Amino acid sequence: LKARLDGIVVRVGHWISPLTRPLESIVRRALRGAMLHNVEARELRGSSEDELSANQLRQNFLWFAANFAVNHGVVTTPLVVASSVLDTGAGYLGNALLNVFTVLSAFLLGAPAVNSLGLRGAVLLGMACYCLYAGLFTAAYAAGKGAVLAQK
């Protein structure tokens, strides 16, 4: 089955029974919401993703992978050392809060962020929040170190 969504041909499946028609409607709405941002961006650029060469796609993937790896490394370092550098309770609490808010944001904010910001914008927002976490960890460490020095 091919469905036209504002000029986009989407292959949903080969056969749809009467029982799956509500599911087809849900899939169409989800696909439309996820693709509209990319379609509008392509129309503004006047090009399509099919025009990118294999070399350009590979370079784009490597650039994204390298940036994601550095960003992820910056965040996992405080996770590893939080309980040994900070007060033990503060380290455990910080790790727990990070994990809870990561799960909640994935469930509640992921889809709306992609829908409103697009894939690139949502990834950049997530990476910026990761950097904010690393910055706040550094501030907590500096404040804790200053408090320890003031007590001596």
Q: What is the pLDDT of residues 77-125, one digit of tens each?
A: 777 777 777 777 777 887 888 889 888 888 888 888 889 988 888 888 8
Q: Are residues 63 and 32 in contact, defined by beta-carbon separation less than 8 angstroms? A: no
What percent of the chain is predicted at pLDDT more than 90?
0
- What pTM does this model have? 0.53
* Pair of tokens at residue 88: 């033990």
Asked whether the predicted pLDDT for residue 33 surpasses 50, the reply is yes
Residue ranges per domain, the chain? 1-51, 54-152
Looking at residue 3, what is its pLDDT?
A: 47
Asked whether the predicted pLDDT for residue 63 surpasses 60, the reply is yes
Name residue 2's beta-bridge partners.
11
How far, in Å, are 5, 10, 130, 145 from residue 118 at the CA level?
Answer: 18, 19, 18, 41
Name residue 5's beta-bridge partners.
8
CA distance 75 to 89: 19
DSSP 18: G
Name residue 10's beta-bridge partners.
3
- Mean pLDDT on 26-37: 52
Within 10 A of 83 (CB to CB), how many other CB atoms are there?
Answer: 16
Q: At what angle do helices 88-108 and 110-151 cross, to 10 degrees?
A: 170
CA distance 137 to 59: 33
Asked whether the predicted pLDDT for residue 64 surpasses 50, the reply is yes
* Pair of tokens at residue 8: 């986009």
